[in-house]
A and B are shown apart, each in its own frame.
Chain A
Amino acid sequence: MKKLFRLFTKKENSEQTEHQPTPIDTDLPQNLTYIKNSLGESTDIVIRKFKIGEKRTVKIAVVYTDGLVNESTVHESLLETLMSDVRQTQLSKQALNKGMYYTVRDHVLTAGELDELETLDDVLLHVLSGDTVLFLEGETKALCVSTRGWQDRGVEEPSTQAVVRGPKDGFTETLRTNTALLRRKIKDPNLWITTQAIGTKTKTDVAVVYMNGIANEKIVKEVHKRLNQINIDSLLDSGYVEELIQDETYTPFPTVYNSERPDSIAAGLLEGRVAIIVDGSPFVLLVPALFMQFFQSPEDYYQRSDFATLVRLIRFIAFFLALLTPSAYIALTTYHQEMIPTSLLINLSSQREGVPFPALVEALIMEVTFEILREAGVRLPKAVGSAISIVGALVLGQAAVEAGLVSSAMIIVVSLTAISSFVSPSFNFAISIRMLRFLFMILAATFGLFGILLGLIVLALHLASLRSFGVPYLSPLAPYITSDQKDTILRFPRWGLLTRQRLINQKNIDRENMHKPKPTSRSPKKGDSS
C-alpha cells in the first residue's frame, strides 16, 4: 500500500531553483511597469500616480487591489492627506530637510499599521493581500499601509454543532475576525498568537493560538514543526492542514478536532490545547484531539451536570447502536437464532419468508440506499429537498416492505442506525462510524457474533495504538487516569472540575479553586437579631 502511494508521490526536486527577489528601483515608472507586467495588467489593480509637495515636484504612485481594500480608508487617510492636507500644514524645516520619504512616513500617513518594503516581490504580496503600497520617485523603499477591508460574511450562528443554550456566534472566513472572537472570550496576556503564511501560491495565513503557561510546550513546538514541514502550493481550507499534520493517515478516526464555535475552541485553549486557525476557513482546528472529546458538546458545560452526564451516556449508546445494529441483526438472524426469544423469532422469520435475499444483502441494500439519500440530501438545492424526503420515505419505508424487497424489521434497524449516527456532536467522527459499519456487517455475515467480537477487539487495538500529537488517543480511559474521569463520560459539577487534563497539560494543572456553593443560612445569626 505504502509503496503504491510512493509511486504517485515521488517527484523530482530539480526544477525548483532559488528565486532572486527584485529590489525596488529608484525609477518610479520602471517599478510600476514591473508590477503591471507581473500581474498581467489585471484589471482589479489600481495604480494612481500624482505629485505632492509644496511645489508639486515629488512624483508618487499608490498601488492597491480594488475590492480587497477598504475604500474609505484609502481615500481619507491616504489620498486626501497626501494630495491636499500636506500642502496646507506647515511642516518644520527639519522635517522637510530629511526628505520627502521620511516626511510622508513620519508626519503624513495617519494609518495605524505601516510597513517598509524593499523588494518588488514583497510589494506584490502585500498588494494582493489588500494593503496599499506607496512608491516615491527616487526611493528604494516603498511604504505599505494596512488598508485591508473586503466584503465578508458577518459573524453568524454556526451551522454545525448547534446548541440550545450557549453562545451563538461562529467563526467566519477571515482570520482577524476569528482571532478577535477568541480574544473577546479570553482577555489574558498569555493568549499568544503566531502567524505564518503557508502555500507557495495561495500564501494563506495560518495562526497558531495557545495559552502560554498552560499549553504543553512540547505540543506547541510539535505543531510549529509540523506546520513548517508543510510544502504545498495551495491551502484553501483547514481540512488541508488537518490532513497534513495528523499523526496517522491510515485510520478512519479523526485525530484533529475542528469546530466552528469560538466557545468550544476557547475552552480547548484553556484546557491547554493548541488551536490552528486557517484564513479562509470557519473551521478552527484543535490539537491534541482525543477519542472522548468527540462525545462531548460545548453545551455539556452550559447545562446542569447531571443532565450533561446523561446526554453523554446517550451519545455512547448511540455510538454503539450506529456501529453495531445492522451487524447484530445479521448475526442473530443468520447464525444465532437460539438467542432470539421464540415469539420474536417466529415473527421475524415470517416477515423474512417472502424476502429473496440473505440478511446481509438485505441490510446492504438498505444501508447503501440510506447513504445515497443522505448524500443527495446534503448536495440538493433547498427547493428540491422536500421531494427527496418524500421519495426517501417511500424507499426506506412501507413501500419497500410491500414490494417484498426487505423485511419490516430491517427498516427499523436501518432507521435506528441512521438516527443514532446523527447523535454524535462531531460530524467527522460520525463518518468513521458510517464506514466501519459496513466492515462489521461483513464480519457478522461470515462469522456471526464471533466476527463482531473480533472486529471490536481490532477496533479497540487500533484505537489504543493511535496518538494525537503524542497523547494516547484513548486517554484517559486507556491509559486510565483517575483524576480525569470527572470530565470524560461523567461531567462533574463545576466545583468538581478543579484540575486540567493530565496528559494534555503538565505544569499548570490547577484551575481556579472553586468551592461548592453553600446557601447562606436562612435563619439570621443570633448576634444579628439583637
Chain B
Amino acid sequence: MKESITRYQFISLVILFEFGSSIIVGLGLEAKQNAWLVILLSMIGGILLYWLFTRFVSSYPDTPFPQVLQIVAGPYLGYLFIWVYIAYFLYIAARVLRDFTMLTAQTILHETPLIAVSLLFMLVVCFACYLGIEVIARTSELFLPFILLMGGLFLMFVFIMDLPKIHHLQPFFNQDIGEILSFVFPTGVTFPFGELIVFTIIFHHLEDPLKSFRYGVTGILYSGTSLLIISVTILMVLGPMIAMNSTVPLLDTISLVNLQGIIQRLDPIVIIIMVITGFFKITIFFYAAVAMLQYLFRLPRRDSKGLIGFMGILVIILSILISPNFVEHMKEGLDIVPIYVHVPMQMIIPSFLFLLLFIRNKRNNQ
C-alpha cells in the first residue's frame, strides 16, 4: 500500500522542519537591526529555490526522487547523485543531531554525557523512520498546534511584560546593501529554506504531487513569517549585541519573563519547542537518507530494521566525530558548510539536473 500524505500534514511537516534549530538559535541575528530584511530576502530566495526543487515532481509526479535522478541524469550519473545525496542528508542529520545534543546539554542536562543524549534521540528517530513517512506526517500534524501554542505563549508573555523595546531595532539600514546581501547569501537562503531539498524525497507521497509547490510555499510563508516575528522580538528584547552572541537567544529572552512572581521560569516552553522541532528536522533528513537507501537496495519498509539501526549508529558516531567542540562546530556550521556543502547540493546540482530535465522535455515534445 502506498503511503499518502494530506495537505495539512505536508504543510505542518514543512513548518516544523523550518522551525527546527532556526527558531532556537535565532535567524538572521548576525545582521543585527536589519535581521527582518535579511529573513524576508532569504524567504524570497528560498521560495525560488523551492520552485526549482518542485520542477522534478511536476514532470514525474508518481516517481520516487532517486528514480527521477536516474531518469534525468542517466543510470550511472544518477546513481552517483543518489549516493551524494545520501551522504549529504546523513551529514546534515548528524550536524543537526550534534546541534541539539549540545543545546540540550547546555540548557537542561548539564551532566549527562553527550552520547547518552544522542543515543536516546536517535533511537526515537529510528523508531519514527521504521514506522514510515505517513506516521511521521500524522505526528507532525498532531504536534504543530502545540508548537504554535508554545510560540504564541512566548510572544504573549514577552509582550505582556513589555520587554520589547523599539529602539533596539534602530537605526534601520545602518549597513550597506552589499553587507546585507552577504547575510542573505549563502547563509540565509540555504539555512533553513534551501534545506527543503530534502522534501523532494517526500513529494511523490502527497495526495496530489502536482500541488507540492503551492503547499510548500504556504508552509514557507507561515514558517518564515513566524521566524521573522520571533527573531525581531528577540532582537527587540535582548538588543542586537546580546542577541548575536547568545547561543540560545530564545531561552535568554523567555527567562526575562517574570509576571508578579506568578508566571516565571517559562524555560520548559523553549525546551518543548526545541526538542520537538529538532526531532522533526533530524527525522526528515534521516528518513530521506533511509528512503533512498531502501530504494537502492529494494528493501520494503518493514524489513529495513537492520538498515535503519545501522544508519542510526552511523549518524551518532558522525555527530560526535564531526568536530571536537561546540565553538568549532558552530564556526563550521556558519562559515564552511553553507558555501561548500549547501550551495552545491541545494543550488548547483539541482540547477544542473533542471537543465537536463529541460532539454529532455524539449526533446520529448519534438
Residues of A within 8 A of B (CB): 335-336, 338-341, 447-451, 453-454, 457-458, 460-461, 464-465, 472, 474, 477-480
Contact = CB atoms under 8 A, between A and B. Distances in A.
Given A339-B265, A457-B279, A458-B127, A464 B108 contact: no
A457 B108 contact: no
Interface string B118-158: 00110010011001100110110111000000000000000
17 contacts: A339-B267, A447-B120, A450-B109, A450-B117, A453-B271, A453-B275, A454-B120, A454-B121, A457-B279, A461-B131, A461-B136, A464-B138, A464-B142, A465-B132, A479-B6, A479-B138, A479-B141
B276 interface: yes
A480 B6 CA distance: 9
A480 B141 contact: yes
A448 B109 contact: yes
A-B pairs with the 4 shortest C-beta distances? A464-B138, A478-B138, A453-B275, A478-B141
Contacts of B259: none
Contact of B135 (A336, A338, A464, A477): A464
B265 A457 contact: no
Contacts of B276: 453, 457
B233 interface: no
A6 B95 CA distance: 42
A472 B5 CA distance: 13
B247 interface: no
A341 B259 CA distance: 12
Q: Which of A335, A472, A477, A480 neighbours the largest number of chain B CB atoms within 10 Å of its CB?
A: A480
Contact of A449 (B120, B136, B268): B268
B9 interface: yes
Contacts of B272: 453
Contacts of B143: 457, 460
Assign chain B's interface to a size class. Answer: 20 to 34
Contacts of A450: 104, 108-109, 117, 120, 271, 275
Question: From DSSP, what is the main secondary structure of chain B's interface residues?
Answer: helix
Nearest to B141: A478
A460 B139 contact: yes
Nearest to A340: B265
Contacts, number: 86
B264 interface: yes
A109 to B, nearest CB: 55
A341 B258 CA distance: 11
A454 B132 CA distance: 18
B108 A478 contact: no
Contacts of B117: 447, 450
Given A339-B268, A447-B112, 7 more contacts: A449-B268, A450-B108, A453-B275, A461-B127, A461-B128, A461-B136, A478-B139
B8 interface: yes
Nearest to B261: A341
Given A447-B117, A449-B108, A460-B143, A454 B138 contact: no
A447 B119 CA distance: 12
A36 B193 CA distance: 84
A465 B135 contact: yes
B109 A335 contact: yes
Interface string B56-93: 00000000000000000000000000000000000000
Contacts of A458: 124, 127
Contact of B139 (A335, A336, A464): A464
Contacts of B261: 341
Nearest to A328: B268
Contacts of B128: 457, 461
B139 A461 contact: yes
Nearest to A332: B268
B109 A457 contact: no
Contacts of B131: 461, 464-465
A335 B108 contact: yes
Contacts of B132: 465
B3 to A, nearest CB: 11
Contact of A474 (B6, B108, B142): B142
Interface string B256-291: 000001001101100110011001000000000000
Q: Which of B116, B120, B138, B271 neighbours the largest number of chain A CB atoms within 10 Å of its CB?
A: B138
A480 B8 contact: yes
A44 to B, nearest CB: 53
A450 to B, nearest CB: 6
A338 B271 CA distance: 13
A454 B108 CA distance: 14
A93 to B, nearest CB: 70
A341 B265 contact: yes
Contact of A341 (B8, B135, B264): B264
Contacts of A451: 120
Nearest to A443: B120
B267 A447 contact: no
A474 B108 CA distance: 31
Nearest to B136: A461
Contacts of A457: 124, 128, 139, 143, 275-276, 279
A56 B132 CA distance: 78
B142 A454 contact: no
Contacts of B120: 447, 450-451, 454
A479 B138 CA distance: 6
Contacts of B112: 447
B28 to A, nearest CB: 27
A339 B109 CA distance: 13
Interface string B95-125: 0000000001000110010001100110010
Given A447-B112, A454-B124, A479 B267 contact: no
B275 A447 contact: no
B109 A447 contact: yes
Given A451-B120, A461-B131, A474-B142, A338 B275 contact: no
A392 B271 CA distance: 38
Contacts of B9: 478-480
Nearest to A479: B6
Contacts of A479: 6, 8-9, 138, 141
A429 to B, nearest CB: 18
A461 B135 contact: yes
A450 B116 CA distance: 12
A468 to B, nearest CB: 14
A478 to B, nearest CB: 4
A341 B262 CA distance: 9
B165 to A, nearest CB: 26
Contacts of A448: 108-109
Q: Which of B131, B267, B275, B276 neighbours the largest number of chain A CB atoms within 10 Å of its CB?
A: B275
Nearest to B132: A465
Contacts of A480: 6, 8-9, 141
A472 B138 contact: yes
A14 to B, nearest CB: 32
Contacts of A453: 271-272, 275-276
Nearest to B255: A338
